[in-house]
Structure 1
Amino acid sequence: MDINMGNVLGLVFANMHDTTLGDMTKNRTMGSVMFGGRYRLIDFPLSNMVNSGICEVGVITKSNYQSLLDHLGSAREWDLARKKGGLYILPPFGNVESTLYRGRIEALYGAMSFIKHSRAKYVVLSDCDVITNIDYKPIIEKHVESGADITAVVHTGVYAAEDIKTSTVFNVDGEGRVSSVLIQPELSGTCTISLNMFVMSMEFLTDMIRDSIARGLVSFEKDILQSKCRDLKIKTYEYDNYFSKLTSPNSYMQANMELLNPVNARKLFVPKRSIYTKVSDNAPAKYDINCTVKNSLIADGCIIEGEVENSVLFRGVKVGKGAKVKNCILMQGTEVGSNAQLNNIITDKNVTVDSEHILTSSTEYPMYVAKGAKV
């Protein structure tokens, strides 16, 4: 079956998992959190949709979305600056009856005027908590062939309790149909977890929103997936390619560090399926003749005079003479003074670490330094 991807609407939720990353989302949405040296988390679902042929995308926001607006701009980098279709920012209070949403259904209801004006036949919903390079076309084709009401993208694997307690877990029968749903359970081991990507028809989506709002239902996971899994035909699509699911600051740290392995980087950054982001005209990174850099991602605009090992440095980071940076994520504009030492540290934008200072923490609980802080 050949699906016309021009008949598919993409909806991205920028704020849905803000609490999982702690202080990193204190002043920004999850979608605008930086990742991998140059990207934002929203770059991945947006790029996946564009690469799949989806040319109409709405980004549903809730709060703290100024940095997200600055990043997306005209959406030219994602080829979504179009006369027909393109990118739409959907802030809260999208209609006079909507409120600051408490769940996914209320968020969709707030965007109802946008959704109703779309001519799409199918809808792809995605959050910003999964980092992957996925093609939505075969998922939509399987959804149509199966006659499902909802198709959920899932992965079956062995998970620790920390990862499962922030996830939705599906019990699936032999035909791939969901028989029961567990929401943020306290368990560990082999589970089928939701990757928070869903496919459904436009007709089903709009009917579900209207019916749920009329009944006072706000949570898609609890009130639809869990409560109605026996009434609805909810099918799963097993996804086995590379991905990272962000469930905590530690998982964010590990997801960045995994990119230091070229095997993982090649799985995420696939030829002909680029991950797009805002273009910044910075000078190339500058390396002092006496500096040392090992197994690290160094973005453009960085100035390295000291030692950097097993770290991810974003644009414009400066590491002074004699400074040692190991197992760290240093976001844009961070400055590390001469002879300072950092180990297992995450710094936000424009952090300054003075000369001779030492910051260290454990790999399980990396220290986070807030935006603009001076240490």
Structure 2
Amino acid sequence: MDTMGIIFSNVHDGDLKELTEMRTFASVPFGGRYRLIDFVLSNMVNSGIHNIGIVAKANYMSLMDHLGNGREWDLDRKRDGLFIFPPFARQDPDIGVYKGRLEALAGILTYIRRSAEKYVVLANSDIICNMNYRDVIRYHEEKEAEITVIYRKMTVSESNAPRCTYFYFDPDQRLSGMAVRPPYGGEQNVSFNMVVMERGLLEHIVKEASAYHYQSFDRDFLQRRCRDFKVYGYPFEELYLRINSIAGYFDANMRMLDPATRNELFYSHGSIYTKVRDEIPARYPGESMTRNSLIADGCVIEGEVEDSVLFRGVHVGKGARVKKSILMQDTRIGENACLTYTILDKDVVILPERILTGYGSYPVVISKGSIV
């Protein structure tokens, strides 16, 4: 497909502050063995996109370690492939790194200009779905659009509204207006923060944004200029999960316990790929018990695990009980400890007899490497 992709890895860091202190949003672990970026990256590769740039901003060591040279996604190529762009330096050191999509794109304008593809797909990592971008490009061409935005019609609560962007369309699906971080909810056309346009148009937009010091693509450009371009909306109507808060992240992982959800997210338009790490199978010695849980390779379960997601190398001690929890790589749970509604980052140690209890809407989060 004559299309390149650009993924922004840090845009939503503030939504998962407890989990992004030492990593980018895109590299947050998900579903027992994956990272959030695996979904959008795999969707692009499965759609025939093989020139993909990853825009980083801060704490990108784990992202680079996970992606490597892109071999798992068939992106270790002599031509095109995977490109990771660290934050660019500014002439004025007081300004710091970029603050929005447009400034980030200005920093990689040479990469965009030197690419040969006709179209470009811009995306974040906060939407978990299995999407075929070929369908979006086909729609873009049928509408003779200059810009196509991907959205979902849904009911939005008032508390979630400030995290969203709403689109308003005419009967032909042409964008007529939009609201960025609105204070109201209701049934709305909610942006997926995914955009398709011709590469040449993107160059023009980035140059104009630099001249006027625009930062946000939605607020500073699209909202002001949507009537100056042929902007159309593409409705995505299949299963998706949105990660825009700790509670949303917890709920999305819990939904992965449903086989129907897993099958649709991982296989409907192609497989979701990730970095492969060889481990021995999980072991269940003694009187261990598990119910309705995802247990990754390398785990040792000596206690009870129910309705939980365990990443590689987790050890649950004798008599320990883990329920409705997410335990990331190499976590250690001491004997007779009890965890309910918790999220434990990598390398956490829970001492024997400890009790941690949260709520579904407010799970307890323990940061990486902590001893509790």
Task: Please give the range of the TM-score, normalised by the shorter of the 2 chains.
Answer: over 0.9
Task: Calculate the TM-score normalised by the size of structure 1.
Answer: 0.96
Residue 190 (structure 2) pairs with residue 156 (structure 1): no
What is residue 243 of structure 1 aligned with on the other side?
A: 240
Which one of the candidate residues 193, 196, 199 is aligned to 1:199? 196
1:161 is displaced (CA, Å) by: 2.4
* SS of structure 1 residue aligned to 2:135: helix
Q: Any conservation in 2 of the 1:335–1:353 contact (CA below 8 Å)?
A: yes
Q: Any conservation in 2 of the 1:92–1:99 contact (CA below 8 Å)?
A: no
1:118 counterpart letter in structure 2:
S
1:92 is displaced (CA, Å) by: 1.4
Structure 2 regions of 5+ residues with no counterpart? none
Residue 290 (structure 2) pairs with residue 293 (structure 1): yes
Deviations 1:59-105 (A, max 9, x none): 00111101101111111000000000100001111787996111100
What is residue 263 of structure 1 aligned with on the other side?
A: 260
Separation in structure 1 between the aligned mates of residue 180 and residue 60 of structure 2, nearest angstrom: 27
Separation in structure 1 between the aligned mates of residue 145 and residue 16 of structure 2, nearest angstrom: 33
Aligned pairs for 1:324-363 (under 5 A) are 324-363=321-360
Residue 266 (structure 2) pairs with residue 254 (structure 1): no
Larger displacement relative to structure 2 (275-284 or 222-231): 222-231
Which one of the candidate residues 55, 59, 68 is aligned to 1:73? 68
What is residue 14 of structure 2 aligned with on the other side?
A: 19
2:149 counterpart letter in structure 1:
A
Percentage identity across paired residues of the two chains: 46
What is residue 79 of structure 2 aligned with on the other side?
A: 84
1:369 is displaced (CA, Å) by: 0.1
Structure 1 regions of 5+ residues with no counterpart? none
Larger displacement relative to structure 2 (172-181 or 30-39): 172-181
Residue 69 (structure 2) pairs with residue 63 (structure 1): no
What is residue 302 of structure 2 aligned with on the other side?
A: 305
Separation in structure 2 between the aligned mates of residue 269 and residue 47 of structure 1, nearest angstrom: 10
What is residue 231 of structure 1 aligned with on the other side?
A: 228
What is residue 46 of structure 1 aligned with on the other side?
A: 41
Separation in structure 1 between the aligned mates of residue 159 and residue 312 of structure 2, nearest angstrom: 31
What is residue 143 of structure 2 aligned with on the other side?
A: 146
Deviations 1:245-269 (A, max 9, x none): 1110000000000111111111101
Deviations 1:174-198 (A, max 9, x none): 1111111111112222111011111
Q: Any conservation in 1 of the 2:131–2:269 contact (CA below 8 Å)?
A: no
1:329 is displaced (CA, Å) by: 0.4
Aligned pairs for 1:66-145 (under 5 A) are 66-93=61-88, 100-145=97-142
Deviations 1:31-65 (A, max 9, x none): 11000000001111110000000011000011110
Residue 36 (structure 2) pairs with residue 8 (structure 1): no
Deviations 1:317-368 (A, max 9, x none): 1101100000000000111001000000000000000011100011111110
Separation in structure 1 between the aligned mates of residue 144 and residue 221 of structure 2, nearest angstrom: 18
What is residue 316 of structure 2 aligned with on the other side?
A: 319
Separation in structure 1 between the aligned mates of residue 216 and residue 303 of structure 2, nearest angstrom: 50
Separation in structure 1 between the aligned mates of residue 62 and residue 177 of structure 2, nearest angstrom: 38
1:163 is displaced (CA, Å) by: 2.9
Q: Any conservation in 2 of the 1:95–1:110 contact (CA below 8 Å)?
A: no
Separation in structure 2 between the aligned mates of residue 37 and residue 257 of structure 1, nearest angstrom: 11
Separation in structure 2 between the aligned mates of residue 302 and residue 50 of structure 1, nearest angstrom: 31
Larger displacement relative to structure 2 (50-59 or 160-169): 160-169
Residue 274 (structure 2) pairs with residue 277 (structure 1): yes
CA RMSD of aligned residues (A): 1.4
Aligned pairs for 1:178-193 (under 5 A) are 178-193=175-190
Separation in structure 1 between the aligned mates of residue 160 and residue 141 of structure 2, nearest angstrom: 31
Q: Any conservation in 2 of the 1:99–1:110 contact (CA below 8 Å)?
A: no
Q: Any conservation in 2 of the 1:31–1:128 contact (CA below 8 Å)?
A: yes
Task: Calculate the TM-score normalised by the size of structure 2.
Answer: 0.97
Q: Any conservation in 2 of the 1:260–1:295 contact (CA below 8 Å)?
A: yes
Q: Any conservation in 1 of the 2:16–2:246 contact (CA below 8 Å)?
A: yes
What is residue 33 of structure 1 aligned with on the other side?
A: 28
Deviations 1:194-220 (A, max 9, x none): 111110001110000001111111110
Separation in structure 2 between the aligned mates of residue 304 and residue 321 of structure 1, nearest angstrom: 8
Separation in structure 2 between the aligned mates of residue 357 and residue 152 of structure 1, nearest angstrom: 48
1:337 counterpart letter in structure 2:
G
